[in-house]
């Protein structure tokens, strides 16, 4: 089946998984892990995400995050591209580092927040990266160590989780740790692994088999939650940006060019007039920053290298209010 579009809206809770291409190791040493966590910290400090849980394994990583106003796709694109570039330079390698499509699942907070925090943080133990729970407590490359008070992570949102286990941190931490310990015998849990959920007469059941390397959607595996949550979230997405969701690149080009008084064919030309530069910047801003689409897909339309798109988008952002009206106009 063709890939379905990402689901996202401000304030959405996501379980995000990234994997090395062909099981490539994406963390070779602590310098790599420190770089990845540093970039994660910067995203939190910029207000892009709230991070509740995370775990770094040799060839993949799990994140449980709540998005801010910035679309998840835009954040992930800059996050992974930046890390991959630094990794390749550091280790003198070339080519793709990550599997071509990260997995993201919208999560129903009330039912699954704590279960996913426990599941994500037990990944190093299940993978035998650490020997036991005591070692996991001190392991610096998951959010568990921050929740039990072993490693200071001011950027990680611990208060929300610990408040579910006690009125004070002193009481909450041992209760949280006992909750994690109780999850060890459960082993691998298909319903929490991102294997997808299948709508059936009995509700939502785990789908345990996926094609390796790409999501094999059965029903709507982009959402982890009850039937009511799924329907409510779909309505929320539809109401949030019904027009923007349907805007094609051709339509957007026509709108921008009509707004500045240029023919769409001028976009890919070699001209450098002020009007043409403004049109390209506006189009890049709308396509990448507002709609969260790929800059690589836009580059041929503008006749530029993909690396030029982010800079153009930043220029377009200076007139954000004006350009945004073109996304939803008729």
Q: What is the percent of the chain where pLDDT is above 90? A: 43
pLDDT at 104: 86
CA dihedral 72, 80, 29, 113 (to 10 degrees): 10
User: 157 φ, ψ to 5°?
Assistant: -80, 95
Longest dimension (CA), the chain: 66
Q: Which residue has the higher pLDDT, 145 or 215?
A: 145
Specify the pairing of strand 13-19 against strand 49-57: unpaired
C-beta separation of 267 from 283 below 8 A: yes
Report the pLDDT averaged over residues 270-278: 85
- Among 140, 148, 149, CA closest to 118: 148
Q: Which residue has the higher pLDDT, 82 or 313?
A: 82
Centre a 10 Å sphere on the Cβ of residue 37 and count the other Cβ atoms it contains: 18
- The mean pLDDT value of the chain amounts to 82
C-beta separation of 137 from 144 below 8 A: yes
Per-residue pLDDT of 176-221, as tens digits, reads: 999 999 999 987 776 665 433 333 223 333 333 333 333 333 335 6
C-alpha distance from residue 105 to each of 184, 218, 223, 251 (Å): 23, 14, 5, 29
Instruction: State the pLDDT confidence band at 170, using cuts at 50, 70 and 90.
Output: very high
Per-residue pLDDT of 7-56, as tens digits, reads: 677 788 999 999 999 889 999 999 999 999 999 999 999 999 999 999 99
CATH 1.10.1750.10 in the chain is located at: 244-328
For 127-154, give the DSSP string.
TTSSSSHHHHHH-TTBTHHHHTTSS--T
Right CATH number for 13-240 from 3.30.70.1290, 3.20.20.140, 3.40.50.1220, 3.40.50.280? 3.30.70.1290
Kindly calculate the radius of gyration of the chain based on its CA atoms and give it in whole angstroms. Answer: 22
Gap between the Cα atoms of 262 and 326, Å rounded: 15
pLDDT at 192: 63
C-alpha distance from residue 76 to each of 50, 86, 277, 288, 297 (Å): 14, 15, 27, 12, 16
The verdict on domain 244-328 having CATH code 3.30.300.30 is no
pLDDT at 211: 31
This prediction's pTM: 0.67
Q: Is the per-residue pLDDT at 328 higher than 50?
A: yes
């Amino acid at each position: 089946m063709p890939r379905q579009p990402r689901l996202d809206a401000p304030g959405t809770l996501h379980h995000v998984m990234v994997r090395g291409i062909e099981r490539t190791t994406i963390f070779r040493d602590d310098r790599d892990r420190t770089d990845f966590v540093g970039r994660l910290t910067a995203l939190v400090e910029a207000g892009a995400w709230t991070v509740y849980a995370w775990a770094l394994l040799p060839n993949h990583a799990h994140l449980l995050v709540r998005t801010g106003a910035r679309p998840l796709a835009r954040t992930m694109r800059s996050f992974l591209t930046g890390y991959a570039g630094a990794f390749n330079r550091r280790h003198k390698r070339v080519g793709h580092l990550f599997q071509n499509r990260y997995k993201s699942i919208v999560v129903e907070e009330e039912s699954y927040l704590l279960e996913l925090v426990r599941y994500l943080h037990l990944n190093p133990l299940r993978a035998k990266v650490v020997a036991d729970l005591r070692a996991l407590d001190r392991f610096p490359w998951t959010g568990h160590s921050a929740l039990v008070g072993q490693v200071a992570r001011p950027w990680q949102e611990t208060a929300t989780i610990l408040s579910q286990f006690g009125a004070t941190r002193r009481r909450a931490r041992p209760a949280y740790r006992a909750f994690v310990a109780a999850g060890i015998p459960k082993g691998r849990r298909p319903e929490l692994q991102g294997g997808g959920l299948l709508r059936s007469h009995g509700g939502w059941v785990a789908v345990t088999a996926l094609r390796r390397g790409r999501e094999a959607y059965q029903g709507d595996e982009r959402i982890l939650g009850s039937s009511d949550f799924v329907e409510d979230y779909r309505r929320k997405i539809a109401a949030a940006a019904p027009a923007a969701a349907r805007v094609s690149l051709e339509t957007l080009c026509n709108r921008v060019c009509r707004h500045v008084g240029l023919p769409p064919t001028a976009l890919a030309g070699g001209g450098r007039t002020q009007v043409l530069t403004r049109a390209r910047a506006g189009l890049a801003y709308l396509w990448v920053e507002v709609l969260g689409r790929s800059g690589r897909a836009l580059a041929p339309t503008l006749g530029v290298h993909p690396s030029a798109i982010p800079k153009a988008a930043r220029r377009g952002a200076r007139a954000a209010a004006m350009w945004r009206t073109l996304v939803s106009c008729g």
